[in-house]
């Protein structure tokens, strides 16, 4: 089972949802980076459960221990190991599905591939694993911050309810001022009520997280298989419950003529090459062009719902699966910091790869 991502800035996550803890080893982080524990904890707090009534009520502090790689507040250039202990497991909530395959979960596929599975909260397939990614992504963000790069994600859609405004017309910082993480207060309130009503019905709903990255210079990315947008797509599609990814004009771009879609170049007053429009999403030929990078990630409705569903068990017999436990009725509010973390990990890796090429 591959649990490693990255080429030069590399992470390996470990642990299960109901095991003693989860964690991550970061290899390749440059020495001398200020290790801001408060910022890393802040990022984990944004993802942790129990934030409001529209998120899972599992109570985890998600506090982390630094096991290696940091001395006197600075990274050492050696592997950084972080551990987040699990403290609020309720494994008994999953005893009834020890031999049942929950619809649209990884139960059947894990059982088929490995011959066994940890049914307690999904084990390794649980979204709890993403806390380790967020911790690693926070370190990547600290590196990117020194380079003037900022990563900001927000919720743009819940079910059929959409925020029909481009990111350039939004104050993205407002996303952190409401539990849905939508930067438009009116739309955020409607989304909150929508999710809450879905929760009361014992059901779930999907949504979309948009992400905007500013400050990336031209030149990051690889021209063939490791295109910047390909790596971003891989990173986003590796997140639990993700069903779609698009960047720049995305699927809507097929409706345009080339004369409408091309981003024309010009030289600004500072002598920098810029584009008049940005339908390319800040990436051309798999390499950043210096404009804002933006993309969208679609999340399916959470598979666990508080309703009975038909399925089969490990013996192939028909069963009725009853939803139990503590689960998000909509994953996108807590997915925002996960999307940011994965984007930051991709960009930190691409920065180091570009730096190596230019030496």
Q: Binding site for NADP(+): which residues?
A: 47, 53
Instruction: Determine the number of helices (DSSP H) and then strands (DSSP E) in the chain.
Output: 7, 18
At residue 283, the 3 state secondary structure works out as strand
At residue 131, the 3 state secondary structure works out as helix
Residue 239 C-alpha from the chain's centroid:
6
Nearest-CA neighbor of 43 among 311, 336, 258, 297?
A: 336
Distances in Å between the Cα of 148 and the Cα atoms of 131, 141, 211 are: 25, 10, 17
**CB 133 within 8 Å of CB 24:** yes
Q: Which two tokens stand for residue 235?
A: 């990173």
Q: Which two tokens stand for residue 222?
A: 């690889």
Residue 182 C-alpha from the chain's centroid:
16
Residues placed in the known binding site? 47, 53, 124-126, 240-241, 285, 300-304, 326
Instruction: Supply φ then ψ for residue 273, to 5 degrees.
Output: -80, 125
HSE of 307, CA atoms in CB hemisphere, 13 A: 14
**CB 91 within 8 Å of CB 101:** no
Residues in the chain: 359
Nearest-CA neighbor of 332 among 163, 106, 87?
A: 163
Nearest-CA neighbor of 108 among 306, 315, 314, 300?
A: 314
Nearest-CA neighbor of 47 among 241, 328, 280?
A: 328
Sign of CA dihedral 233, 101, 94, 309: positive
Residues placed in the known binding site for FMN? 124-126, 240-241, 285, 300-304, 326
């Amino acid at each position: 089972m591959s649990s490693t991502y990255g080429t030069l800035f590399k992470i390996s996550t470990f642990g299960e949802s109901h095991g003693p803890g989860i964690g991550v080893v970061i290899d390749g982080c440059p020495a001398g980076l200020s290790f801001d524990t408060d910022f890393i904890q802040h990022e984990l707090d944004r993802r942790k459960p129990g934030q409001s009534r529209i998120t899972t009520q599992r109570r985890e502090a998600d506090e982390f221990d630094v096991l290696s790689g940091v001395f006197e507040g600075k990274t050492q250039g050696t592997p950084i190991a972080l551990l987040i202990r699990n403290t609020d497991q309720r494994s008994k909530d999953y005893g009834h599905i020890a031999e049942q395959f929950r619809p649209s979960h990884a139960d059947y596929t894990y059982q088929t591939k490995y011959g066994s599975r940890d049914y307690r909260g999904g084990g390794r397939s649980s979204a709890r694993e993403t806390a380790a990614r967020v911790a690693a992504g926070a370190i990547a963000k600290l590196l990117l911050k020194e380079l003037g790069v900022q990563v900001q994600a927000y919720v743009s859609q819940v079910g059929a309810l959409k925020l029909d405004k481009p990111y350039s017309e939004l104050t993205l910082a407002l996303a952190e001022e409401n539990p849905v993480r939508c930067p438009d207060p009116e739309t955020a309130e409607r989304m909150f009520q929508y999710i809450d009503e879905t929760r009361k019905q014992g059901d779930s709903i999907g949504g979309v997280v948009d992400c905007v990255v500013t400050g990336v210079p031209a030149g990051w990315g690889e021209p063939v298989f490791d295109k910047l947008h390909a790596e971003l797509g891989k990173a986003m599609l590796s997140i639990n419950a993700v069903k779609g990814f698009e960047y720049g004009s995305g699927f809507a771009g097929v409706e345009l003529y080339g004369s409408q879609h091309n981003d024309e170049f010009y030289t600004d007053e500072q002598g920098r090459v810029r584009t008049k429009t940005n339908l390319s999403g800040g990436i051309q030929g798999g390499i950043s062009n210096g404009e804002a990078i933006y993309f969208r990630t679609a999340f399916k409705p959470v598979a666990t719902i508080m309703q009975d569903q038909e399925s089969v068990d490990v013996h192939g017999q028909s069963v009725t699966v009853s939803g139990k436990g503590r689960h998000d009725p909509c994953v996108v509010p807590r997915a925002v910091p996960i999307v940011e973390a994965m984007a930051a990990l991709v960009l930190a890796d691409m920065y180091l790869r570009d730096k190596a090429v230019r030496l």
